[in-house]
Amino acid sequence: MREVYQPCTTTTHTEKDTKPISPIRKKLQQYIPILEWLPNYKWKEHFSGDVIAGLTVGIMHVPQGMAYASLADEYYPLGEYIDPLVYTSALTLLVGVVQIIMGVLRLGFLTTYLSDPLVSGFTTGAAVHVFTSQLNKVLGVKLPRHEGIGMIVRMYRDMFWSLGSVNYVALGISIFGILFLDLGRTFINPIVKKVSPIPPPLELILVIFGVIISMIFDLDTSYHIKTVHEIPRGFPSPSLPQLHFLPALVQDAIPIAIVCYMFVMSMGKLFAKKHKYKTDATQELYAIGLASAISSFFPVYPVGASLSRSSVCEMSGANTQLYTVFSSLLLLTVILIFGPFLEPLPMCILACIVIVSLKSLFMHVKELPRLYRISKYDFTIWLVACLSTIFTDVTTGLVISLVSSLFTLVLRQQWPTFSTEVLHDETPRQNLPEGVEIVRFGGAIHFANVTLFLDKMAESIGRVPEGETLIDGKTLILDGAPIGYVDSMGVDALRDVYRDAQNCGVQVFYCGLPEGVLSVLCSDENFCSVVPSSTFFASIDRCILSICLSNGTVQQLLKNAKMNLAAQCQPFVVSQRPGSAL
């Protein structure tokens, strides 16, 4: 069930592209995607970006992993005090099993309800949490931890009262680091890209600079700037998780499995939209489920998505999953050999890398004016998702966002638009010119069904005879009469369908769209910059007439219509022979 449509970007196909794949190999590629993308890896284009991103993220893994591990040193509700890592390993195993079961049951469709405004607002709100968690390192102050509803407000309150004890050396290093990364990406990267495909590894340069400065000026002792300190060395031995803990962990494992999956898919959908690719929801369930289950034989946490490191990875130029190889190799090297060299690294340097990587997430605020013009419901979803995540916590914010998104769907269905202006099409479908196909989507296009719409349109665009790669001059007409409204994702879907069809040499026309839908489409600059006004027709009849006029086939169309009309009337004429009863 991993048939993901890849938009056609070229009309040239190599022999390798058309080589048939055996059913066994196709099934293996479905569950082990590396068997599909690694043989087709573009070494010249992608290798340098994967290496730099892998090394950069690997550098961040070490101190952040140590910081997260320190949070596990507490009591757990199992009736006894145990080693925290024994508890988390058993929990990780159960979380992985739950996610694999969800994959077997094909529950990946639940991500359909993660609309783009919801994901955008949620990730922006989560970015506020990540940003706030780094401010104490930037200011060089120690703040108490807070959890639950209102934690952000309490954290800023404590930060305000701690302004008198700011470490100005740490603040100065942080300001330098933020300016270095931000200005470097804004001005230096575009210049370097003109002469070299390899972007400068600004994060690695900043880390090396931080280590050197810390060693020269002894920042930890002389200026009381917190550094990474000791990094444990040695590889842990695998062991079977404590299975007798599993019954007590079921009620925790199920919500954690769902939340971890939602985090992975929300980040995946965010980057998928930015870089024009598609995610397979069921495949992601298998991936993170197997990762958690296998890794539970070591002292680990359940597998999820890291907002900060994902952003750093994307900004550092990662192209494929091969970057994880270099990230893992760096981690292994640090664990076994080079740990002491990173111990002088100031924590404020790592905070700078995280903060600058969040810039693109904060820029999602610029979407609000467009959402307000297109759909007030999407505008509301974005605000609710962002604000609920900021003022509660990430998990609660995700739940509130989903509930509010589903509630707006109910409201939209409860109050549909109504119009008395109905256009009737009189063209018999058998009189269509050759190469013209009419399709109809029987309802509004919104976040809950936009994936289905894209898949069906992709099938029509890519429907070709056996042995051919493209139908020259094919025309696709979308009957838009049933489309009562579109939200922001519906607008983007109509735009993407037109663009993908153009790339495949297929003409697409939108006919009979209601006035309300047309006004929404025309008010969006992103849509109008891609789809010309000549794409729209008031009715299918007018669209077909325009096609015939442009192709010079009007006479042939009229001839076919007369022949079909005569054939339809023939039984009636024969039945009226003399003496017959009507």
**Cβ burial, residue 147 (10 Å; 0-12/13-18/19+):** exposed
How far, in whole angstroms, is CA 510 from its chain's centroid?
27
Query: CA-CA distance, 330 to 57, in Å (whole number)?
Result: 9
- Model pLDDT, residue 141: 92
Query: CA-CA distance, 60 to 460, in Å (whole number)?
Result: 45
CB 129 within 8 A of CB 394: yes
- What's the CA dihedral at 486, 489, 491, 496 to 10 degrees? -140
The DSSP result for 222-266, as a single string, is: HS---B------SPPPP----GGGHHHHHHHHHHHHHHHHHHHHH
The CA-based diameter of the chain, rounded to the nearest angstrom, is 119
Amino acid at 538: A
Taking each helix axis from N to C terminus, what angle separates 307-315 and 116-139, rounded to the nearest 10 degrees?
A: 100
The DSSP result for 440-503, as a single string, is: E--S-B-TTTHHHHHHHHHHHHT---TT-S--TT-EEEEE-TT---B-HHHHHHHHHHHHHHHH
For the question of whether the overall pTM of this predicted structure is more than 0.85, the answer is no
Query: CA-CA distance, 215 to 549, in Å (whole number)?
Result: 78
**Cβ burial, residue 42 (10 Å; 0-12/13-18/19+):** exposed
**Cβ burial, residue 186 (10 Å; 0-12/13-18/19+):** exposed
Amino acid at 149: I
Query: CA-CA distance, 254 to 257, in Å (whole number)?
Result: 5
- Phi and psi at residue 217, to the nearest 5°: -100, 5
Query: CA-CA distance, 122 to 72, in Å (whole number)?
Result: 26
Taking each helix axis from N to C terminus, what angle separates 116-139 and 376-391, rounded to the nearest 10 degrees?
A: 30
| Tens digit of pLDDT at every position of the chain (582 positions) | 233 333 333 333 443 444 667 778 777 777 787 888 888 888 888 888 888 888 888 877 776 665 555 444 443 444 444 567 788 889 999 999 999 999 999 888 777 777 889 988 988 998 899 899 889 999 999 888 887 888 999 999 999 999 999 999 999 999 999 999 999 988 988 888 788 656 677 887 888 899 999 999 999 999 999 998 877 777 788 888 988 888 888 877 887 888 788 778 877 877 877 777 778 888 889 989 999 999 999 888 888 887 667 877 887 788 888 988 998 898 888 778 877 888 898 989 888 888 888 888 899 999 999 999 998 999 999 999 999 999 998 878 888 998 998 888 888 776 655 444 445 455 555 567 778 888 888 888 988 888 888 888 888 887 544 444 334 468 899 988 889 889 999 999 999 899 888 888 889 999 989 988 999 999 999 899 999 999 999 888 888 888 887 766 655 555 565 555 555 555 444 334 343 333
Q: What is the sign, positive or negative, of the torsion defined by CA atoms of 27, 30, 36, 38? A: negative
CB 301 within 8 A of CB 253: no
Query: CA-CA distance, 227 to 343, in Å (whole number)?
Result: 7
Domain 418-560: top CATH class: alpha beta
A 10 A CB-CB count for 457 gives 23
Q: What is the DSSP letter of 200?
A: P
β-strand pairing of 507-511 with 536-537: parallel
Query: CA-CA distance, 306 to 345, in Å (whole number)?
Result: 21
**Cβ burial, residue 107 (10 Å; 0-12/13-18/19+):** middle
Three-class DSSP category at 302: coil
Which residues of the chain are in CATH 3.30.750.24 domains? 418-560
Query: CA-CA distance, 307 to 358, in Å (whole number)?
Result: 8
Q: Report the candidate in 208, 207, 210, 202 with the shortest Cα–Cα distance to residue 317.
A: 202
- Model pLDDT, residue 63: 63
Query: CA-CA distance, 449 to 464, in Å (whole number)?
Result: 25
